[in-house]
C-alpha cells in the first residue's frame, strides 16, 4: 500500500503499477489511525525522511508493528532536540529502526540515546539516477533548443522569477531559457514577460523555433528535460527551501539556487565542494551566470564533480531492502 498526503505526489503516482493500492493517508487523528491499521493490518510501515505522524506511529507501537524511517535526516537545531522538545523526541523512540542519510544524523540520534540507527544514504539518488538512465528524448525541447545553449529553471516561484526576468536581457544570442514554474497555472510569469515585451511560448502550444523563452506548463516532463540543460537554476531558495537539485545532478549538471538550502545534504555538500552555487540577489545571479557561461571548461569540471557525487552515493535502496529482508520480515 502506497500513501500520499499531498495532491502533487498522489496525482503523479495514483496509477503506480507496483503497488496494490494507492491513496491518501488520512489526517493524523487517533480515530483515523486506528481505523486504517485495522483495515490494512500491516506487518511493517515505512515512513520517509520527515514523515512523523504522531498518533499513527503511537498506535503502530502499541500494536508491535515494525515502524521504519528511511532516508532520515536530523539536525541539532530540530525541535526534537530543543529544551522544550522532550515530548516531540518521544515519537522518535517509537520507531523500530532508522536508516539515515549521513553519519551526522546517526551521531545526533545516538547522542540522544536512540541507537537503532544505520547510515545507508538517500534513496532519492537511486530514483533520479534511474529516471536519468531511462529518460526519453523530447522533440519539443530539442526543436526549441536547436544548436543553442540552454538554461533550465526548474520549480520556480515568483521570488525566483523576479531575478530571472532581470537575467533574460543579459542572455546572449547563443543562449535560450526554459522556465518551469512550481505552480503551472500561475499567470504572473506570463504577464511579466508580456509587460517586458519578451517573446515566449508555452510548451503545450509550441509552434516555432525562434523564440528565446519556453514556459513548461505541464507536470511530469521536467526531470527528463535536464538532459538538454547547459546550466540549471532551481527555485524555492527564496521561499521555505530549494526544490529537487538531484534531478539535474543525475545528468551531471551544475545548479544555481537561492539561500535557503540548508535542509538538503546534497546541497550543503556540493556548495562546500563548489560544484553548485548559492546566490542571494539579482547581482549574484548575473555574476554567477556570466562566469559559468563564459568559462565552458570550468563548467565541464563542475559538471563532472556533480556526476562523481551522484555515482558515489547510489545504492541506498538496495542496502535498505536487504536489511529489511534479513532482519525485519
Looking at residue 27, the DSSP 8-state letter turns out to be P
Q: Which CATH number fits domain 2-126+314-327: 3.30.420.10, 3.40.50.11720, 3.40.980.10, 3.90.950.10?
A: 3.40.50.11720
What is the SS3 assignment for 163? helix
- Could you tell me the CATH superfamily of domain 137-309? Glycogen Phosphorylase B; (3.40.50.2000)
Average pLDDT value for residue range 247-258: 98
Q: How confident is the model at residue 251 (pLDDT cuts 50, 70, 90)?
A: very high
**What's the pLDDT at 184?**
87
Predicted TM-score of the model (pTM): 0.89
245 burial (CB, 10 Å; 0-12 / 13-18 / 19+) is: buried
- Write out the residue limits of the CATH 3.40.50.2000 domain(s) in the chain: 137-309
Q: What is the pLDDT of residue 266?
A: 95
| pLDDT at 185 (0 to 100) | 83
pLDDT at 329 over 70: no
Query: Sign of the C-alpha dihedral, residues 288, 310, 122, 110?
Result: negative
Q: What is the average pLDDT score of the chain?
A: 94
Segments of the chain assigned to CATH 3.40.50.11720: 2-126+314-327
- Map residue 238 onto helix, strand or coil: coil
The residue assigned the cell 532519492 is 124
pLDDT of residue 269 exceeding 90, the answer is yes
CA distance linking residue 258 with residue 252, whole number of Å: 20
Position 326 scores a pLDDT of 83
Pairing state between β 97-100 and 2-4: unpaired
Amino acid at each position: 500500500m502506497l500513501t500520499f498526503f499531498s495532491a502533487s505526489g498522489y496525482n503523479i503516482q495514483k496509477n503506480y503499477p507496483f503497488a496494490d493500492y494507492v491513496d491518501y493517508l488520512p489526517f493524523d487523528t487517533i480515530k483515523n489511525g486506528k481505523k486504517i491499521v485495522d483495515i490494512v493490518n500491516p506487518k511493517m510501515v515505512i515512513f520517509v525522511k520527515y514523515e512523523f505522524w504522531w498518533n499513527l506511529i503511537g498506535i503502530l507501537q502499541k500494536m508491535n508493528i515494525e515502524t521504519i524511517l528511511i532516508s532520515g535526516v536530523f539536525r541539532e537545531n530540530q525541535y526534537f532536540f530543543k529544551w522544550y522538545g522532550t515530548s516531540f523526541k518521544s515519537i522518535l523512540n517509537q520507531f523500530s529502526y532508522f536508516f539515515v542519510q549521513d553519519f551526522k544524523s546517526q551521531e545526533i540520534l545516538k547522542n540522544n540515546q536512540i541507537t537503532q540507527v544505520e547510515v545507508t544514504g538517500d534513496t532519492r539518488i537511486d530514483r533520479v539516477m534511474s529516471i536519468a538512465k531511462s529518460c526519453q528524448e523530447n522533440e519539443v525541447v530539442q526543436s526549441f533548443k536547436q544548436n543553442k545553449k540552454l538554461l533550465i529553471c526548474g520549480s520556480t516561484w515568483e521570488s525566483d522569477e523576479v531575478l530571472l526576468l532581470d537575467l533574460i536581457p543579459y542572455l546572449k544570442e547563443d543562449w535560450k531559457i526554459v522556465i518551469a514554474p512550481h505552480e503551472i497555472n500561475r499567470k504572473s510569469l506570463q504577464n511579466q514577460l508580456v509587460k517586458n515585451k519578451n517573446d515566449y511560448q508555452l510548451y503545450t502550444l509550441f509552434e516555432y523555433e525562434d523564440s528565446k523563452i519556453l514556459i513548461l506548463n505541464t507536470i511530469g516532463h521536467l526531470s527528463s528535460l535536464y538532459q538538454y540543460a547547459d546550466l540549471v537554476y532551481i527555485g524555492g531558495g527564496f521561499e521555505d527551501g530549494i526544490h529537487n537539485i538531484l534531478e539535474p545532478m543525475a545528468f551531471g549538471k551544475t545548479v544555481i539556487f537561492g539561500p535557503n538550502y540548508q535542509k538538503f545534504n546534497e546541497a550543503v555538500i556540493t556548495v562546500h565542494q563548489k560544484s553548485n552555487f548559492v546566490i542571494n540577489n539579482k547581482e549574484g545571479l548575473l555574476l554567477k551566470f556570466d562566469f559559468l557561461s563564459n568559462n565552458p571548461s570550468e563548467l565541464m569540471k563542475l559538471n563532472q564533480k556533480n556526476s562523481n557525487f551522484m555515482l558515489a552515493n547510489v545504492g541506498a535502496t538496495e542496502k535498505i531492502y536487504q536489511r529489511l529482508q534479513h532482519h525485519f520480515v
